[in-house]
Structure 1
């Protein structure tokens, strides 16, 4: 008989205290590597819990915004130090709750530390400009003011990095925050919040309320005291967030789907291209918004590239992310596994050829987890669902083209425009790709996944609301410009 491992119950964090939900209900966060293991029990919160968090955030924002940027940055720096001390603990929880390998989870947590330290420094940067006035006896300048209360709605695939890269700039620019994390990774989010609590943030400045999107997420969208909403997640939900925020005049920022291509040109370093395609497409089990999904290869190198790619993918070891030999962990949930399997079936139905993988892994003790072999398709046409829709799993679609012009045309032939990469040694190819590729992030001779924290990040077309996150660009969303005119 299988024994369910029971773990502790985690509480909401509201007004500087850990509190149960008013509903007194909890849900189990399940380990995708072993569905019999409960990572922790998390609150199923009610609208009243959310209202309490927002009310306290609104009250705290008055005094928080009066602190200097330097003082606010010092709190972020303290949180970074605590997170760094707890990096292994947080990474292990992330692996158990979301499934990515421990090495990846540790790298993500380290990135969270770096983001906190980066924005701690942002508290000392300028927030305005001096503007010449037509009146020589007047002084005119701009400054920036916080939005107020910011609602942060985050996904399960990066349960440390994404909340931190939204919360850190929101706080350093003088806002207060209410975080609604994805249900699948709420325990990890609470571990992050513990770092903020231990750093001594004033009561109400940062809060987390767990629960369903239909109650807590929708409550953030509708609440009149939430002045800004920053969201990362699916295109469908993102549009609901944007429509709801627009209706009541709240500022919103959306980062949604991607269907990211890599182009392999005739002069590409094929070994490098293969390595980057596998890393960009299959790490984190393909569950990245910037993951490589479409591999567009010029005809004259197609067969060589395909052979090298499949040969290397066959070496991948699928297994529990806490085991050092595992290169790829499970899908994050049973629903996600079923979604990936359904797309694989659809690809076969549409006439694509499944070259390798695509089967559920149920041997060698993996039968209790949501494991799948990485899949590679060829004979993929650009209008097929597996070439148009975001799968969010370890599925690569190979598309053969005749020349670079056709490759870029195919790469742009989707409604998304988040990231894209090309492998070539030709400067002309690089410049054409940079100019013509309709994506917010373009990378040359590097995988499509990933962006440095100090650089703006965001997509085009249906991938985002056209705003940018991270780096100094974050100030554009989390503040408003105020123009000041002083007459002597």
Structure 2
């Protein structure tokens, strides 16, 4: 793969035009693997954000996108998918430099993004209406329509893929978009808009506003001209989005935090359980909302599991995403690195045993990047902050349980409910336990794989609404009931005097 070194000058995209912001303040985008400057991004003003909203509203009402056929929109989505495939290598390189993840992860993200557009291109062409047998002489039906202007606010951990999870169903349904990516990872977000523009999507349908979440996100959420906000990020910010969106009771979809349990029974295939537990917490450097950060192990194998898990964790090759052999990449930013290291110190102060890792990595030329060792805590208790709070980094806590009842109790002892896993060779036990785990995305004898066809959904404070699958399309649609009289004439309800 050819590595480019050019510093990119990013722009806003409003009403089909690329432009600089009137705000002289800019954001420097840093490669987390080496600290090098990769892009300069504008910080849009409230006025520019409102302009993008105004354009999206006018475009929606014009019908240039909302009123064309599903078949036409499907064709656009398929063209976008083809362009993603054509630009695969460029997108992978930029995603690595933007986010810090390794090449294998970026490859999966870009491939899955193209597949997601193709999935919704097919789904929007399928029958979606319903008719009901009601009392004569009426015919009742339900149709689905676009919500309107949608504000899409995307996190930094999967900058391109998470954007596509929102864009594909939003566009398929006929909505217009005001798009706000994370400030630390705006590069591939800009490339996505370039691709959508190249595919010929009418101007004004998609609008890109780069800048600070506290300004742009709040403006989008508060606006009475925005009909829906779809946000992925922290639970704290999700609460703020929800409060601000209450002004016009706009529709919201929130995919928030997690502190997900991964339950390992003694009768599980041991090597499989260890291997998947490693992937569950160290994939993406632990910067994954569904990460299996709480590993809950049956006491009879606890010591053996901890020993092997630590051995394997110490052998993980941490390095730049573009370096050959790297198995875990950089933390996305210096501030996030500091946050992770602070949690590690909190864990030690709380009395947990730091069994492995816990340090920033500066050897072998990594001193300019944001790298941290795969970290493992044992001897933890449920009330510890490192057990309760989302760290969003490569930090695992390993807990111990005696029986099924205790395993479930520990698993559900959290404000979150995004994901969870169970490892056991007993199929009946696996189903008993997984059905009791209060989480929306679960696995048995694996951890992590998801599909465009299935919903991504959280319980409790992990969110409201769903991404992906038919459920993801539903989020971006309104349901309308239509009743038709088959016998046109007066009702006779009131006398005719």
1: CA distance between counterparts of 2:184 and 2:250? 27
CA contact (8 A) 1:255 1:464 kept: yes
- Compute the displacement of 1:6 (Å): 5.9
Partner of 2:493: none
The 5-angstrom pairing of residues 347-362 of structure 1 reads 347-362=347-362
Partner of 1:461: 460
CA contact (8 A) 2:102 2:328 kept: yes
Q: Deviations over 1:208-266 (max 9, x none)?
A: 11000111111101111100000000011000111111232111111110001111101
TM-score (norm 1): 0.97
Determine whether 1:486 maps to 2:484: yes
Q: 2:341 aligns to what SS in structure 1?
A: helix
Q: 1:13 aligns to what SS in structure 2?
A: strand
Superposition misfits of 4+ residues, deviation over 3 angstroms = none
The 5-angstrom pairing of residues 407-446 of structure 1 reads 407-446=407-446
The 5-angstrom pairing of residues 23-38 of structure 1 reads 23-35=23-35, 37-38=36-37
Partner of 1:92: 93
Partner of 2:280: 280
Q: 1:453 aligns to what SS in structure 2?
A: coil
2: CA distance between counterparts of 1:442 and 1:140? 38
Q: 1:382 aligns to what SS in structure 2?
A: coil
2: CA distance between counterparts of 1:204 and 1:88? 28
Count of aligned residue pairs for this structure pair: 480
The 5-angstrom pairing of residues 32-181 of structure 1 reads 32-35=32-35, 37-62=36-61, 63=63, 64-135=65-136, 137-181=137-181
Q: Deviations over 1:352-378 (max 9, x none)?
A: 111111111011101001111010111
Q: 1:185 aligns to what SS in structure 2?
A: coil
CA contact (8 A) 2:222 2:247 kept: no
2: CA distance between counterparts of 1:255 and 1:375? 26
- Compute the displacement of 1:427 (Å): 2.0
Partner of 2:267: 267
CA contact (8 A) 2:141 2:481 kept: yes
Structure 2 residue runs without a partner (length 5+): 487-497
Q: 2:184 aligns to what SS in structure 1?
A: helix
Determine whether 1:8 maps to 2:5: no
Partner of 1:232: 232
CA contact (8 A) 2:422 2:434 kept: no
Determine whether 1:477 maps to 2:465: no
CA contact (8 A) 1:6 1:38 kept: no
2: CA distance between counterparts of 1:15 and 1:302? 58
- Compute the displacement of 1:22 (Å): 2.1
Q: 1:396 aligns to what SS in structure 2?
A: strand
CA contact (8 A) 1:262 1:421 kept: yes
Determine whether 1:202 maps to 2:214: no
Q: Deviations over 1:330-384 (max 9, x none)?
A: 1100111011101111111111111111111011101001111010111011111
Structure 1 residue runs without a partner (length 5+): none
Q: Please say which structure displays the higher CA radius of gyration.
A: 2
CA contact (8 A) 1:147 1:480 kept: yes
Q: 1:342 aligns to what SS in structure 2?
A: helix
Q: 1:160 aligns to what SS in structure 2?
A: helix
Q: 2:467 aligns to what SS in structure 1?
A: coil
Q: Deviations over 1:169-208 (max 9, x none)?
A: 0111111111100001111110111110110100111111
1: CA distance between counterparts of 2:338 and 2:22? 33
Q: 2:305 aligns to what SS in structure 1?
A: helix
2: CA distance between counterparts of 1:123 and 1:406? 45
- Compute the displacement of 1:398 (Å): 0.7
